[in-house]
């Protein structure tokens, strides 16, 4: 059999082995590329839905009625549930490969958690727990769950919205808002300090929470110094007694 370079020398058996191996690699890479394209297509839709939710929630900074703001944002939650269900279906085709492809939806998931957590705070003045976030997105932790670091990073992103929220609430005459948000962020920051954070990105986001806390603290002290919070805090103290 002639060689590939035109000579009459027979092909080395090694060549056949290499060709077979690299042909298998080609199929694997083609399949992986096709899978990534499908994942990225769904991730793009998740990003679009999240952007719509965030745009709706930003109306809260314009002192729009809270029920109106939340109702519009909540309209996208079912959309997100359907999209995460699509992701789960895709990943069922490659069991055990969650973290191989996880990077293709990581940032979108973090943004989703941030928006859901901000909505939850506006409704309840409390933290959206990890299990509750999974429930809202229709995720099954035994099959396709919410990565812990994605959840934590999303919560850090959520804290970035609180200083602006506080300033606008004070401008609208809600002088007790800084006290409530300060208490919430203080507890949240203390909870994060329980973690031994080794992820550089998550650590950086957590460090940013300190600045959010400081900004809210400054607004709270300013309101107190001006005597604007006196009536609101007196009312709270009276309710507790």
Convert the pLDDT of each residue in 58-77 to its tens digit.
Answer: 999 887 888 988 998 999 99
- What number of H helices and E strands is found in the chain? 11, 0
Q: State the burial class of residue 5 (Cβ atoms within 10 Å of its Cβ: 0-12, 13-18, 19+).
A: exposed
3-state class (DSSP) for residue 199:
coil
Return mean pLDDT, the chain: 87
Taking residues 35-63, what's their average pLDDT?
92
Predicted pLDDT of residue 7 = 54
Q: What is the dihedral of CA 138, 140, 144, 147, to 10 degrees?
A: 80
Comparing C-alpha atoms, which of 147, 137, 170, 154 is closest to residue 54?
A: 154
Out of 29-43, 46-60, 158-172, which region has the weakest mean confidence (pLDDT)?
A: 29-43
Residues 170 and 177: their CA atoms lie apart, in Å, by 7
Tokens of 210: 């300190």
What radius of gyration do the chain's Cα atoms show? Answer: 25
Tokens of 189: 């920051």
Predicted pLDDT of residue 11 = 58
């Amino acid at each position: 059999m002639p060689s590939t370079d035109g000579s009459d020398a027979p092909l080395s058996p090694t060549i056949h082995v290499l060709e077979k191996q690299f042909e298998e690699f080609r199929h694997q890479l083609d399949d992986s590329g096709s899978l990534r394209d499908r994942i990225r297509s769904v991730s793009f839709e998740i990003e679009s839905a999240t952007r719509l939710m965030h745009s709706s929630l930003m109306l809260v900074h314009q002192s729009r009625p809270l029920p109106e703001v939340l109702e519009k944002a909540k309209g996208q939650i079912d959309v997100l549930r359907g999209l995460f269900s699509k992701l789960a279906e895709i990943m069922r085709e490659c069991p055990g490969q969650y973290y191989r492809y996880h990077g293709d939806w990581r940032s979108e998931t973090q943004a989703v958690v941030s928006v859901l957590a901000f909505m939850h705070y506006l409704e309840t003045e409390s933290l959206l727990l990890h299990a509750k976030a999974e429930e809202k997105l229709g995720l099954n932790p035994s099959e396709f769950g919410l990565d812990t670091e994605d959840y934590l990073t999303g919560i850090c992103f959520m804290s970035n919205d609180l200083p602006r929220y506080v300033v606008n609430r004070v401008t609208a005459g809600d002088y007790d808002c800084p006290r409530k948000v300060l208490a919430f962020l203080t507890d949240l920051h203390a909870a994060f300090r329980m973690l031994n954070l080794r992820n550089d990105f998550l650590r950086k986001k957590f460090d940013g929470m300190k600045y959010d806390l400081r900004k809210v603290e400054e607004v709270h002290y300013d309101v107190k110094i001006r005597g604007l919070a006196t009536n609101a805090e007196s009312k709270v103290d009276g309710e507790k007694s």
